[in-house]
Amino acid sequence: MSGDGIISTTDLNLWYREKHALQSVSMRIPKNKVTALIGPSGCGKSTLLRCFNRLNDLIDHVKITGKITFDDHEIHAPGTDVVLLRKKIGMVFQKPNPFPKSIYENVSYGPRVHGVRDRETLDRIVEESLRHAALWDEVKDRISDSALGLSGGQQQRLCIARTLAVGPEVILMDEPCSALDPIATAKIENLIEKLREEYTVIIVTHNMQQAARVSDYTGFMYLGKLIECGKTVQIFEHPAEELTENYITGRFG
């Protein structure tokens, strides 16, 4: 892959007890690009995504070997500040999961946890984050209302704003549109296009057209292995591996 790698894995293996869920995955995530991970259910996409900010640490009986670096630092090195790592590598999940609090509190939560107390600074972060998440205009007059009153698509953009509020470098998205209608999905896709200017985005999606539309690079995974990773146009026009070809043309099974 061309471009600067912001995250890379070398011979990464992961086991859930006996289950060898990631098998010798070596890949480089280019900076300020959108990388999509595709592959059939259970192939390890979410597992790989969770490796990048060490979310798998929270799961019992997980064993990891190999190397993952973020900005050239080995993320499993002793003394790594995991809280800081997750601040720099934020995550947006499949189902929007706002806290049952106001819109303002949802977005200001992260910065406050990280020690920002000044009201003006918080106001500014909230507005900027909501603007970045293309939600500001829709919520600016109801910022103190409960986040649960927002539509699903708005809630998902709120979750993105919440992630942006702590100033990440990388945003991980695990099927961020699967619970959304086409219009809300289009808004998230437009947003991803803009986020690319300042952030690195890694998105897992089951929707191949979506991967093709939003990403610069695509990785195809199958049974725990990274089969192929390359420029999105190349993967969708003429993949190198027959497995990839079969998957994206729906000849699988």
Partner 1 sequence: MAEKFHTELKHLRKETVAMAQFGRSMLKDSVDALVRQDEQLAGSVVARKGDIHLREVELEERCYQLIALYQPMAKDMRVIACTLKVITASMRIGRYGKVIANIVREIAVKPHISHTMSIPHMAELVVEMIDDAITAYETDSIELIADFSTRDDTIDALRHSIFREGITHMMEDPRTITRCTHYIMVARYLERCADHACKIAENVQYMDTGERIEIH
Ligand X SMILES: Nc1ncnc2c1ncn2[C@@H]1O[C@H](COP(=O)(O)OP(=O)(O)OP(=O)(O)O)[C@@H](O)[C@H]1O
Residues 161-220 that bind partner 1 (CB under 8 A): 208-209, 212
Choose the contact partner of 119 out of ligand X, Mg ion, partner 1, none; CB within 5 to 8 A by kind: none
Give the DSSP H/E element, type plus range, for residue 48. Answer: helix 45-52
CB of 79 to ligand X, least distance (A): 27
- Residue from 9, 35, 46, 155 in contact with ligand X (CB under 6 A): 46
238 part of the interface to partner 1, by CB under 8 A: yes
From the CB of 44, what's the least distance to ligand X, in Å? 4
Nearer to partner 1, 164 or 208 (CB): 208
- Binding of ligand X at residue 176 (CB under 6 A)? no
H helices of 103-231, in order, are 103-113, 119-132, 136-139, 152-164, 182-195, 208-214
Q: How far is the CB of 38 from partner 1 (least distance, A)?
A: 11
57: Cβ–Cβ under 8 A, 6 or more apart, which residues? 82
Residues 222 and 243: beta-carbon distance below 8 Å: yes
- The yes or no reply on residue 54 touching ligand X (CB under 6 A) is no
Q: Is 251 exposed, middle or buried (0-12, 13-18, 19+ CB in 10 A)?
A: exposed
Q: To the nearest whole angstrom, how small is the minimum distance from the Cβ of residue 180 to partner 1?
A: 19
Which amino acid would we find at residue 202?
Answer: I
Q: Which of residues 24-43 bind ligand X (CB under 6 A)?
A: 39, 41-43
- 45 in contact with ligand X (CB under 6 A): yes
- What three-state secondary structure class fits 2? coil
Tell me the number of residues near ligand X by CB under 6 A.
12
Any contact of residue 46 with Mg ion (CB under 5 A)?
yes
- Those residues whose C-beta lies under 8 Å from the C-beta of residue 56, and which sit 6 or more positions away, are 14, 47, 50, 62, 64
- Binding test (CB under 8 A) with partner 1, winner from 60, 72, 141, 237: 237
205 touches Mg ion by CB under 5 A: no
Confirm or reject binding of residue 63 to ligand X (CB under 6 A): no
Binding site for partner 1 (CB under 8 A): 208-209, 212, 236-239, 244-245, 248-251
Binding site for ligand X (CB under 6 A): 16, 19, 21, 39, 41-47, 59
